[in-house]
Amino acid sequence: MIRRHRSLGFVTLVTFALLVTRPHEAFAQETPAQIAPPVVPSAVPSSAAPAQAPAVTLDEDALNRLVDARIRAREEAAKAADAAKASAAAAGSAPAPAPAPAEVGPFGDIDSTWMNGQTRQKEQPLTFLDRAVTLHAYFDLNYAFSSNHPKDNTLTGSASAGRHNEIGINLASIGLDVNYKGLIARLSFQYGNMLNIVQDLDGTVSRGRSLTAQNLRYIREATAGYHFDVGKGLNVEGGIFMSYIGLESYLLGENWNYTRSLVCDHTPFYFQGVRAQYYPTSRLKIEPWLMNGWQSYGKWNFAPSGGLALRYSPTEAVSLNANFYTGTDTKGVPGRVRFHHDNSIVARVYDAPASSFLSKAAFSLNTHLGFESGGEGLPGPAQAHMVGSSLVGRTWFAKNYLALSLRGEVMSNPSSYLAQFPPPGYASGGGTPALRAAGFTATFDILPSDSIALRAEVSHRVSNRAYFAGPDGTTSPDGFQPIDPTFTPDTRTDQTLFVLGLNARL
């Protein structure tokens, strides 16, 4: 009996020590029902009457082994539980699988912001209503100075800059784009000196009544249409559009040079009509057009004009474009047809955006060919044609914060049927001397961000005919209106133009 009491006392002592020293490790994973001290067999069966039972003893070494085994089991269970917790925590902190990339629209997988004639904006900050509405604003301020010093401060031969020795708003525009459940629309208003050069040239508004340039000149774009999920996309739209002819944009801030090239300055800036844009692949656009005429709100004759624009970008570094136009754009001569074609390549030959010296280099080549044919007594394609080309090389420096663009250009338009911005009294048509012009332009840009550009440019142009305003101007003897019908405009065959410009866009 004495040995039995001593053994039970030893077990109690060991159990108490475990509870005090290893309460968590030994028992944290088990409930009280799972934990029991070693059972000592009863000396009296529960069904029997109480009686004196023989003594049953447990060896102290056996008890020690039993306790050690229980301790090891508890420790292994605790380690397994800790490992399970750590695994669960690691699984919870691991990044979730990346979602499938969202499908991008045509040309959406390439960066076109470096290209000549394209916006430099990589993102649209003024987007609302879950990207259904995007507001946009454009601002173009310039100062131009001609080496000919015209006294009436009026420049001729270009639509890019119309005033000499004056700071002026060349173009300011604000509008919105809508893309909602298939509806696509754009409305943009405009104001500035460039409207006096471009929109006011439209002679079709003098045909009859109920159509005036005054009512429409402040609309840069007004279009509406629908997007169909055909191929990679099909858009059908109608309204007033920016022209698709020529590589360079109506918005000077999108071009590598501030002033447009000769070939792009003498082709349309806008059309009124309908178009469809079909994308059979994400890198190819086929765009047929139907419109009223060559840069006109109305029609010169009965038949409409038609056109086609093609764009293909095999890689992000190359863009190929081809445009076609045909129409009847001679007043009162419905049988005279105008055809025009231009093609271009824009290629990036070097790209190191992180370089503090040369960070990018690219070039563009835009070539035009057109003619007019038909009409009794009017010159044929041998004289009534236009051919020209513009080659631009552009290099970016200092991580694309600085850029230099150099352009060489030539144009020949013998009958001058595309001479859109000549001085007053300039003769055109059959029997007149051919117009041939050439030029060189250097443009330096400071580009703090993709929304603003500070620009400095010098260009020199020459022509075989007097095409540029001279010192006495092209308005009147004193340079002020009204125009004196007896005054002979002073014109020159060459001009050097210096321009400072600020282009901003959101």
- Quick one: pLDDT band at residue 397, thresholds 50, 70, 90? very high
Torsion sign (Cα): 190, 192, 194, 195: positive
Distance CA 389, CA 343 (A): 10
Mean pLDDT over 447-462 rounds to 97
Task: Please say if the pLDDT value at position 31 is more than 90.
Answer: no
For residue 439, give every residue at least 6 positions away whose Cβ sits within 8 Å of its Cβ, in sequence order, or none. Answer: 262, 407, 408, 409, 459, 460, 461, 462
Using DSSP, state whether 39 is helix, strand or coil. coil
pLDDT at 63: 58
pLDDT at 310: 98
Is the pLDDT higher at 451 or at 2? 451
Which residue from 250, 276, 253 is spatially nearest to 264, judged by alpha carbons?
250
Task: Please say if the pLDDT value at position 465 is more than 50.
Answer: yes
Choice among 84-88, 111-115, 389-393, 449-453 with the minimum mean pLDDT: 84-88
pLDDT tens column, 295-321: 999 999 999 999 999 999 999 999 999
Q: Where are the alpha helices (DSSP H) in 172-289?
A: 194-197, 213-216, 262-265
pLDDT at 72: 76
Mean pLDDT over 434-452 rounds to 96
Residue 22 CB neighbour total at 10 angstroms: 15
Choice among 86-100, 180-194, 423-437 with the minimum mean pLDDT: 86-100
Which residue from 286, 289, 178 is spatially nearest to 240, judged by alpha carbons?
289
Distance CA 426, CA 443 (A): 30
According to DSSP, residue 391 is labeled E
pLDDT at 425: 80
Mean pLDDT over 16-36 rounds to 41
Is the pLDDT higher at 19 or at 502? 502
pLDDT at 109: 87
Which residue from 432, 429, 419, 408 is spatially nearest to 468, judged by alpha carbons?
419
pLDDT at 243: 95
pLDDT tens column, 88-122: 555 555 555 555 555 678 888 899 999 999 999 98
Task: Please say if the pLDDT value at position 34 is more than 80.
Answer: no
Task: Please say if the pLDDT value at position 235 is more than 80.
Answer: yes
CATH 2.40.160.10 fits 127-505, yes or no: yes
Q: Are strands 133-146 and 494-505 parallel, antiparallel or unpaired?
A: antiparallel
Mean pLDDT over 267-290 rounds to 96
pLDDT at 147: 96
- Percent of the chain past pLDDT 90, that is, above it, reads 67
- Quick one: pLDDT band at residue 38, thresholds 50, 70, 90? very low
What token pair was written down for 44? 């009296």
Q: Where are the domains of the chain?
A: 1-38+64-73, 127-505
Is the pLDDT higher at 50 or at 68? 68
According to DSSP, residue 4 is labeled H
Task: Please say if the pLDDT value at position 42 is more than 50.
Answer: no
pLDDT at 32: 40
Mean pLDDT over 201-229 rounds to 93
Q: Where are the alpha helices (DSSP H) in 192-311?
A: 194-197, 213-216, 262-265
Distance CA 104, CA 106 (A): 7
- Quick one: pLDDT band at residue 4, thresholds 50, 70, 90? very low
Distance CA 413, CA 428 (A): 10
Mean pLDDT over 481-500 rounds to 92
Choice among 17-21, 53-57, 227-231, 340-344 with the minimum mean pLDDT: 17-21
pLDDT at 67: 61
Distance CA 56, CA 12 (A): 18
pLDDT tens column, 404-415: 999 999 999 998
Mean pLDDT over 237-242 rounds to 97
pLDDT at 73: 74
Average pLDDT of the chain?
86
- Percent of the chain past pLDDT 70, that is, above it, reads 82
Task: Please say if the pLDDT value at position 13 is more than 50.
Answer: no
In this structure, are residues 169 and 140 in contact, taking their beta carbons and an 8 Å threshold? yes
